[in-house]
């Protein structure tokens, strides 16, 4: 029988209550699905300006990664790998008492820098040309280049022993690299998070590439994730919804909620070395630098006494943490903001900065 014939017959027949309930439930579910899709599309249109648009016919697959080693040998005469700390070197050798000790000039702007964990003898840079580079601090030369992104690299981060690092780019891909060989150990691209409108934090299993946990309590795009304990049991997230949430690892419900009417959207978070509590301190306010429109980095010295912040005008500012007083201000970079900063883990008087002018500087 035709569908309209069945409908006509059923119109004159009283249906069983269970059948009626199932049909009503199906109509409600379909209406909710349509409403959710319309809402997702509306939010996607609002957030589309945050990421570069996908062009028609653009290849959605990740590019083939390549790597180049720029030195003569990857192993020294003692059989030691190039990523290990050279024998007899404990930290940065202060050969000069000038303010700027070392200047590295990549071919493009640099958005982020990271030092090798615990020793700081190698420096990892994230370039606006889509490449990552590892530099030797002692030699001032690039050791290896990692090419695996088609857009600017937003952030990079070493693991605890420096044998691997993660790069995340505006091409919507996150890649896990082997520092020594330059091989890609994993490529991840969550479709929903690429659109940046689902307001979630997603945890992956690096071996399988599958999502293991979702943290979904923010009401706007998530800006930063910061692990606040050495064993990685807790993390802090900030979002455009002007909230800070503290999470227990692998638990999808936040354990602490920090929000205040005076708070703004926080694109970056850093942890104080003695940080054990999570609370808003109204009196700890450091004013005098212009960071509007840029996610300029901020870092605390290893002893927790000083704070170094970046400026949209290319300046770096040093503050006394307890008194929130500006100690020094230097002009560090031209043609754009001073976007990144990192404190040396061994030499407490050494700071590295980078900017969109394509220069990495080491300050003492």
pLDDT tens, position by position, 265-277: 778 888 888 766 6
pLDDT tens, position by position, 334-359: 877 788 888 888 888 888 988 888 88
Q: Is the confidence at residue 110, as pLDDT, over 70?
A: yes
pLDDT tens, position by position, 161-195: 889 999 988 888 889 999 998 999 988 876 433 33
Of 338, 331, 333, the closest CA to residue 297 belongs to 338
Q: Is the confidence at residue 278, as pLDDT, over 90?
A: no
Read off the pTM. Answer: 0.73
Mean pLDDT of the chain: 76
Q: Is the confidence at residue 147, as pLDDT, over 90?
A: yes
Strand order in the sheet with 100-104: 100-104, 360-363, 351-355, 338-343
Write down the pLDDT at residue 362: 86
The β-bridge partners of 297 are none
Q: Pick the residue with more confidence: 23 or 329?
A: 329
> What CA–CA distance (Å, rounded) separates 148 from 121?
24
């Amino acid at each position: 029988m035709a569908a309209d014939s069945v409908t006509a017959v059923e119109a004159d027949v009283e249906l069983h209550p269970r059948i009626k309930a199932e049909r009503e439930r199906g109509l409600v579910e379909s209406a909710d699905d349509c409403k959710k899709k319309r809402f997702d599309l509306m939010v996607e249109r609002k957030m589309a300006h945050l990421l570069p648009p996908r062009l028609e016919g653009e290849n959605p697959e990740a590019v083939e990664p390549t790597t180049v080693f720029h030195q003569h040998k990857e192993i020294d005469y003692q059989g030691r790998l190039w990523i290990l700390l050279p024998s007899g070197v404990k930290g940065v050798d202060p050969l000069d008492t000038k303010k700027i000790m070392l200047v590295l000039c990549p071919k493009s702007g640099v958005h982020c820098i990271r030092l090798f964990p615990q020793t700081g003898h190698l420096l990892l840079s994230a370039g606006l040309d889509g490449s990552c580079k590892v530099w030797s601090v002692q030699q001032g030369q690039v050791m290896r280049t990692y090419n695996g992104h088609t857009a600017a690299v937003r952030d990079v981060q070493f693991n605890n022993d420096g044998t691997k690092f993660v790069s995340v780019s505006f091409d919507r891909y996150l890649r896990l690299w082997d520092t020594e060989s330059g091989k890609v150990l994993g490529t991840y691209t969550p479709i929903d998070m690429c659109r940046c409108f689902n307001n979630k934090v997603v945890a992956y299993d690096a071996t399988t590439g599958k999502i293991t946990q979702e943290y979904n309590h923010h009401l706007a795009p998530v800006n930063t994730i910061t692990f606040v304990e050495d064993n990685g049991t807790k993390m802090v997230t900030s979002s455009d919804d002007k909230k800070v949430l503290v999470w227990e690892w692998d638990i999808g419900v936040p354990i602490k909620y920090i929000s205040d009417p005076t708070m703004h959207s926080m694109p970056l978070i850093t942890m104080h070395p003695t940080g054990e509590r999570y609370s808003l301190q109204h009196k700890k306010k450091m004013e005098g630098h212009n960071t509007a429109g840029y996610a300029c980095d901020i870092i605390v010295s290893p002893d927790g006494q000083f704070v170094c912040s970046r400026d949209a005008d290319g300046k770096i500012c040093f503050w006394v943490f307890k008194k929130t007083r500006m100690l020094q201000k230097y002009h560090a970079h031209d043609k754009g903001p001073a976007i990144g900063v990192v404190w040396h883990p061994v030499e407490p008087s050494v700071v590295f900065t980078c900017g969109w002018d394509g220069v990495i500087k080491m300050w003492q």
